[in-house]
Structure 1
Amino acid sequence: MSAAPVILSIEGIGKNFGGFHALSQVDLQVADRSVHALIGPNGAGKSTLLNVVSGHLAPSAGQVLFRGRPICGRPPHETARRGVARSFQITSIFSGFTVFENVQMALLAQHGLCTRMFRSAAPMKRDEAFALLQLVRLDGAADRIAGQLAAGDRKRLEFAIAMAGTPAVMLLDEPTAGMSPDERAIVIGLIRKINQERGVAVLFTEHDIEMVFAIADRITVLHQGSCIADGAPEAGSPRFQCNK
């Protein structure tokens, strides 16, 4: 069977903050429809790399290609519209709005409908919003205030918001941070579902090694801003192609 095509290519990425080299010559390729884990100790540069890919930070060197086309230097909202969605370690939702309204607003924004100030938004994109809530198993909580949700439910809501843009790639930063074992299991199942049923490639950072080996097709290790190992997990332990 031929290898899956590369959908996201990170080539020679460097990022400096003054005299501090947060990233140095990072090379990484994410295959289409794959789940790719990015691991390493605190301060290794994992979140910084996701911020560069998503457009929240401009790289000091190198380039990022999405479907073979460069996306560095574009604002985050444009990167998201092209098909690269970003989820943060701390959930980013409208806490005072309902679960349904959060997803509906994301759909309206994606379709350029938020500027229609004099039209009622209530009937717009309702079916699509409920379909996304069903995907993340939050349709029963549609009328709840988002700020009242538990950590795992907030993360699922953020996934639904990200999916409003019909992404081809999702960037997830510590998706199970601070969750109970039951909440982690739900989120892990959701990542699998988004990947397998929707065909979305996932690049995620994670400290939970059990989770990494449970769902990752490939693992990359960062240390002090450099990629030191990369490979597929085998027999419960990764056999890495070391770069140093």
Structure 2
Amino acid sequence: MIAATGIGWRIGGARILEEISLEVGAGELLGIIGPNGAGKSSLVNILSGVTRPTQGRVTLKDEDVTRLSSTRRARQGLARSFQTSALFDGLSARENVRLAIQAAGAAPFSPFRAASGTGAETIELLLARVRMPGKGETMARDLSHGDRRKLELAMALASQPSVLLLDEPMAGVSAEDVDGLTEIIGEVRDSGVAVAMVEHHMHVVLGLADRVAVLHHGQLLAIGSPSEVTSDDRVQQAYLGEAL
């Protein structure tokens, strides 16, 4: 569903990424791990169109989208989340989801269409999907950090994406919310969406991922099943420490 081929990115003389090639299929979850500064978020930015690579190409459903903007990629079925929360804090949870549904439609912000009538049933289904029934009227700024992350997932899913990129979805989330988010993301993958997820919680990655890609100093150190990656000597030395 999405693939990177020979991706490289340099800023001046600094090499951020070099010769990264990977792909994610429908109904597959690829975990992306590595030390801080390995280039994980940079790769997600390139896959989503926020950043253009200096070499290589990105394909989305077999179409070359390397030069397409993030907006164009979103129209073609790609959605993503960011490390830091990106919500409209002055709006309710329901209104945040409503805006996401509007943005995914044709003529998304037409002045001739009432925003209040946008997808009321769909909004409630999305909130229920991320375990937030009954919280639609809560202002985004008043939600717990775990619920803010869930709301971001609901907004990402509003466009019915075929590819979902998640950049540290568990960052800052309390231990009791991690299991709930893990379950939601697993259900998204099981629905047939291709998911690529950057995450530092190793038990989440090893429990969810079909395959794991390890980045180190901007290069792809290893890629394979969780058991293959965790038993790789190079990965042990570079990232995981002693054998798991």
Match of 1:208 among 201, 204, 209: 201
1:78-227 paired onto structure 2 within 5 Å: 78-196=72-190, 198-227=191-220
Provide the residue aligned with 1:26 in structure 2: 20
Output the amino acid matched with 2:103.
A
Instruction: Extract unaligned runs of 5+ from structure 2.
Output: 236-244
1:53-68 paired onto structure 2 within 5 Å: 53-68=47-62
Provide the residue aligned with 2:6 in structure 1: 12
Provide the residue aligned with 1:4 in structure 2: none
Q: CA deviation at 1:57?
A: 0.2
Mapped contact 2:33–2:215 kept (Cα < 8 A): yes
Q: Larger % of helix: which?
A: 2
Aligned CA distance change for structure 1 residues 12 and 241 (closer, same or farther; 3 Å) = farther
- Sequence identity percentage: 36
- Tell me, yes or no, if structure 1 residue 234 matches structure 2 residue 242: no
Q: CA deviation at 1:92?
A: 0.7
Q: CA deviation at 1:215?
A: 0.5
* Cα separation, 1, equivalents of 2:114 and 2:162: 30
Provide the residue aligned with 2:40 in structure 1: 46
* Cα separation, 1, equivalents of 2:160 and 2:114: 24
Range moving further from structure 2, 67-76 or 155-164: 67-76
* Cα separation, 1, equivalents of 2:192 and 2:127: 18
* Cα separation, 2, equivalents of 1:21 and 1:64: 19
Aligned-partner SS, 2:109: coil
Aligned-partner SS, 2:115: coil
Aligned-pair RMSD on alpha carbons? 1.7
Instruction: Extract unaligned runs of 5+ from structure 1.
Output: 1-6
Mapped contact 2:94–2:123 kept (Cα < 8 A): yes
Q: CA deviation at 1:214?
A: 0.8
* Cα separation, 2, equivalents of 1:114 and 1:84: 17
Aligned CA distance change for structure 1 residues 75 and 47 (closer, same or farther; 3 Å) = same
4+ runs of 1 displaced by more than 4 Å? 239-243
* Cα separation, 1, equivalents of 2:21 and 2:234: 12
* Cα separation, 2, equivalents of 1:77 and 1:241: 40
Taking structure 2 as the reference length, what is the TM-score of the superposition?
0.92
